[in-house]
Amino acid sequence: MAQVSNILKRDMDLFLNDLGSECKVSNTSSDINLVADFTEYNPLHNGHFHCMKTAKHHFPEALFVAIVPGLFERSGRGIPYILPRELRAEIAISVGADIVVEGPPMGIMGSGQYSLCLCKMFKALNTSYIPRGYKKVDGIDEILKRVNLGHHVAPKPYKIVDKTTGEIILKGKLEEDNYVITSFANSLSKIGFDFKDKFLFVERIGGVSGTLIRQSILEDNFNDVLDMMPSKTVEVLKDAIRNDDIIYGIRDTDSILNTANNYSYSQLANLNLFNDNLAKNIIDNRPFVNLDDLRESILHGFSTHFKERILSILEIPIEKNKISEYIDRYPSNIRILGYKNKECLETFKQKINNENISLFNDCLKDY
């Protein structure tokens, strides 16, 4: 618990620093291709490794940059990661990434918000290619074709639309990996980034489940999933288990309950992802003595993981207007979590168009 609390306090300082920073656009230019892969690596498994190897095979001379979220160590599901980001970066570098940069704070944002941040990062990195895993389902081939034509494909309730042509190209919902592709196409279109022929779509391999790996660690049957991961992931996870550094599912319960029990109606309603009904429901049902009771008072939202994201917001209470300002400025700073060697680091600095670059470990010297 103390480790998680310290991470949250440290990362709030980094968030506020980013919020107060202006993006300094660089005039540097470079002919090198840069492959930018966004993946949570929670943990890095054989599916991620397959996507990385495929991209490096297609673009062997390119700089491979992994975008690994990020502040507050909360996943897109709103749940604490297995490992802090510096360890996830260490694994990524060991299996082939040249640079790992910190991505946005996913767990305290809506999916559209962090998709927009990630796409702004792609733009800041002057990204040449974006590898993306997908699951083979009916209708996905047409979606992938239109995305690589540079069309403004967008997810809507129970349908996928091509806003470039005005057509509905799929009726129904997409699973997570496939949904992310359409979300990226939508966000990249909104920020004016030309993504025609930039995506490398890699079909997901079977026999790998991040969910099963995470559950196996919690249930102490880790040996059952060893063949789903590269040896470096296994090594780091075993060390983390021995050293009690696994943070998966561990929350700062006192902070969550303090916010839920003591914030006023207006303070709750102004938090990111909150609305008036949710704030009122929490007020009407408090005080809360445990997280299970609090979960019952969180109304169902727009996603399967809405309740966990709300817990993260209560844990890290940030107002809507601050999140909006953060997104507007993103990425005001680019923090490097790891790099292969100094040559890769210098090549990276010459490629991107943001002068505010720092090494994550240097940012921690005051903590």
Strands 159-162 and 63-69: unpaired
pLDDT digits (tens, 9 = 90+) for 175-210: 888 999 999 999 999 999 999 999 999 999 999 999
> The sheet that has 167-171: what strands, in order across it?
153-156, 159-162, 167-171
- Which position has the token pair 């470990």? 361
User: Could you give the CA distance from residue 67 to residue 343 in angstroms, rounded to a whole number?
Assistant: 19
Give the number of other CB atoms < 10 A from CB of residue 68: 26
Cα dist. 243→48, 236, 238, 240 in Å?
25, 10, 9, 5
Give the number of other CB atoms < 10 A from CB of residue 299: 13
User: Could you give the CA distance from residue 341 to residue 338 in angstroms, rounded to a whole number?
Assistant: 9
Cα dist. 176→113, 303, 331 in Å?
16, 11, 25
Give the number of other CB atoms < 10 A from CB of residue 32: 13
- Residue-level pLDDT at 361: 85
User: Could you give the CA distance from residue 356 to residue 295 in angstroms, rounded to a whole number?
Assistant: 39
User: Could you give the CA distance from residue 234 to residue 219 in angstroms, rounded to a whole number?
Assistant: 16
What's the predicted TM-score (pTM) here? 0.94
Residue 41: which of 79, 99, 87 has the closest Cα? 87
Per the CB < 8 A criterion, the answer to whether 41 and 88 are in contact is yes
- Which parts of the chain register pLDDT below 50? none
CA 312 to chain centre: 14
- Residue-level pLDDT at 284: 96
Q: Across-strand partners of 153?
A: 162
- Residue-level pLDDT at 366: 65
Residues with Cβ within 8 Å of 219's Cβ and at least 6 positions away in sequence, in order, are none
- Residue-level pLDDT at 222: 85
